[in-house]
Structure 1
Amino acid sequence: MAELVPPQLLEHVAERFRVLGDATRLGILRALLENGDLNVGEIVARLETTQANVSKHLGVLLRAGIVSRRAVGTTAYYAIADPSLGRLCDIVCDRLREQNAEEARIFAAT
């Protein structure tokens, strides 16, 4: 069984979940997980949103240590910096799939 988080760290855990609790930021992370390093323009094209919106959310992810940035000439490329992110996504998505399958079975039986 996993060790419980000490009470003094709960605010840090809550902040991590707040950072991950935004659909645009999750879209950015998905794009990076699927494609590897991307620049802002490439992320904008994949998310079909604005450059300002992507830049704002990349700043939040960067400050949280979830993504990293490296400069190549005048272009900045972003990558996943937190190796636990893939596992966390797998856990959450697998559980949602299980719940949806269970709900579908219930609806099919009625």
Structure 2
Amino acid sequence: MLPNRMQLSRTTEDQLKKLKAYTGLTPNVTARIAFFRSVESGFRYKGMGDTKKNDGSLVLDKITWLGDTLHLTELTLKMLYNGMDNREYLKAWAAHVDDGISSIRNHKSLSKFVNAI
């Protein structure tokens, strides 16, 4: 469902990298957390009207981005946005990561990050 190669927007990617510098958690792990925080918060991708570009330089395969949450992430996207094509699912995933990172990006240590989630 999701394409094999995936990337986020440059700003989201920068926030993930800063969070890695503060906490030591890799961008793919924090992207997973951000995705599910966004889904839990009730955020919904609006579809074609979203003009944010996925122009980051960190292009990873979906196994690396999603790890053990691959099937759960794809099923969640399918449940929320049934009938989209693969590119739209990618944009929806990226929009959720972008939304979810806003609630966790300011933590300056791993202990504060863990306590917050």
Q: TM-score when scaled to structure 1?
A: 0.29
Query: Which of the pair is proportionally richer in strand?
Result: 1
Query: Which of the pair is proportionally richer in helix?
Result: 1
